[in-house]
Amino acid sequence: MSSRRGFVKELTSGVAAAVLPQVLLAASKAPRNMNAHPPSFWEDVRNAFPLTRERTYFNNGTFGPSPTPVVEAIKSSIDTVYTSGEYGSIEDTREHIAAFVKVKTEEISLTHNTTEGINIVTWGLPLKSGDEVISRHEHVGNALPWLNRARLHGIVLKTFEPALTADGNLMIIRNMITARTRVIAIPHITCTTGLVFPVQEIAALARSKNIFTAIDGAHGAGTLNLDLKALGCDFYATSCHKWMLGPSGTGFLYVREALLDTLQTYFVGAHADTGWDMQVNPVVLKGYAPTAHRYDFGSQSTPLYTGVSEAINFLEAIGMRKIEERVRELSTHLQQQLLTLGSKIEMLTPQEPESRLSMISFRIQGMDFTEFNTLASKNKFRIRMVPESGLNALRISTHIYNSYDEIDRFFALVKANV
C-alpha cells in the first residue's frame, strides 16, 4: 500500500503523472473556494477516469466508476498475486480505511458491501421480541435484514416519513422513541431522494437514552469528510464501490470499540478468534478477537482491497473537504435549474443545504418517469429511476468527474420536454 506521501510523490513521475496532472499536487493547499478550482482543475480530475465520454454518467449513487490509478493498482496486484502465488495481506488497507474515517483500526471490519455490514449489525444486536427499531430504509439491501429479523424474532419496526429539514427529522425521531426503543437504524443519506439525516444529533439523542444507532452509510463515505468518532454513531456500514470510487465487492463496517462484546458475531473465520482446538474433547473455541476483525468473513481479495487503498489515495490527494464542496455545488446547480421550471417539476430532495448533498430526485408533471428515463438514455444520459416506496421519480447523482456543462445539457433536455 502506498502512503499518501508516497502516492503524491508518484504523481510527479511514471503512469500516475500521466493520468493526474500537476494541478492535483496543489489541491491540498488550495483555499476552500471555487476560485481555487477553475474548470481546468476539474477537467484534469475528469481526465483521470477511463469512463466513456460517449454518454454522461449521472448514476454514481448506484456505482462509482474507478479512476485510472485504481484500475492500474488492481491490475498490478492481480499480476503480483497470480505470478507469485502469494495472496498477500489486506491489513494495510484496514489501517488506511480507519485513518480515512478517523477511527481506530481495531474498530474496522472488512466486508463485501453495505448490506453485509448491515446484516452483521442486525443479527448481532441483543434484541428480543417486542423490542422496537426506528427505521427508514428504502433500499432492498438495507430493508430486508431488519424485516427478516422482525419476521423471525418478533422485533417491531417503526417506520416514518422524513421531513425536509434536519430539525424536523430530529423531532420526528425524538417523538417516536418509547421505553421499548432499542435501535435507531437509518441511512446517513437516503438512496431515493438524497436526504441527509442529522446523524450527529440523532446519535447524541440515542446515546442519552441508551439506544443503539446503526447507520447505513452507503452514500456517506466518499462524499462527506467523514469523522465517525465525531459523528457519534455506534455502527456505520458502507461500500467502497460507490462514492469512494473503489472496486465492487469491497466495503467496511465500523463498530464502536466499547460495543465489540455487545454485538455478537455469528459468521466467523480465520483471525476472528483468540484460539481454537478440534483435537481435544470437549472441543475449544477460546474466544473472539478483541477487535472488529472478529466480524470479517475469512479471506479477502488482496487486489480488490489494494484498489480500495488506491481509491483513498486518490480522494485524499484532492482533499475530502474539496470533494464534499464540489459534489454539493454540482447538485445545487441542478436543483436550482430545475426549480426555475416551477410547477412543472415536483422536487423531492430537500432544499435546505444541510439536508442534501450529492443526489437530486424529482418528478416531471405529466410525464411518466419510465418514459423520461428512456428519453434520457436515447440522449446519452445515464440516470436512475426511483420506483422504491412508490416514488416513481428520477434521481441524478453527480460526482467529481461531472461538470456544470453536463448538468446544463441535461436541464435543457428536461426543459424541452415539460
Is residue 19 over pLDDT 80? Answer: no
**Any idea of the CA torsion for 201, 202, 207, 212, to the nearest 10 degrees?**
-150
Mean pLDDT of 254-282: 94
Q: How far is CA 59 from CA 368, 402, 411, 418, in A?
A: 19, 11, 16, 22
Please name each of the domains of the chain with its CATH number.
91-313 (3.40.640.10)
Residue-wise pLDDT tens digits, 140-170: 888 999 999 999 999 999 999 999 999 999 9
Least confident of 25-29, 115-119, 405-409, 413-417: 25-29
Cell numbers of 284, please?
Answer: 475449544
**Any idea of the CA torsion for 150, 155, 161, 165, to the nearest 10 degrees?**
-120
Is residue 411 over pLDDT 70? Answer: yes
Beta strands (DSSP E) in 220-331 are 235-239, 251-255, 276-277, 284-285
Distance between CA atoms of residues 415 and 418, nearest Å: 6
Cell numbers of 178, please?
Answer: 418509547
Residue-level pLDDT at 21: 45
Residue-level pLDDT at 37: 67
At 389, is the pLDDT very low, low, confident or very high (cuts 50, 70, 90)? confident
> For residues 105 and 158, is the Cβ–Cβ distance under 8 A?
no
Residue-wise pLDDT tens digits, 92-145: 999 999 999 999 999 999 999 999 999 999 999 999 999 999 998 778 888 999
Is residue 78 over pLDDT 80? Answer: yes
Residue-level pLDDT at 83: 95
Please name which of 380, 383, 386, 388 lies closest in space to residue 334, comparing C-alpha atoms.
Answer: 383
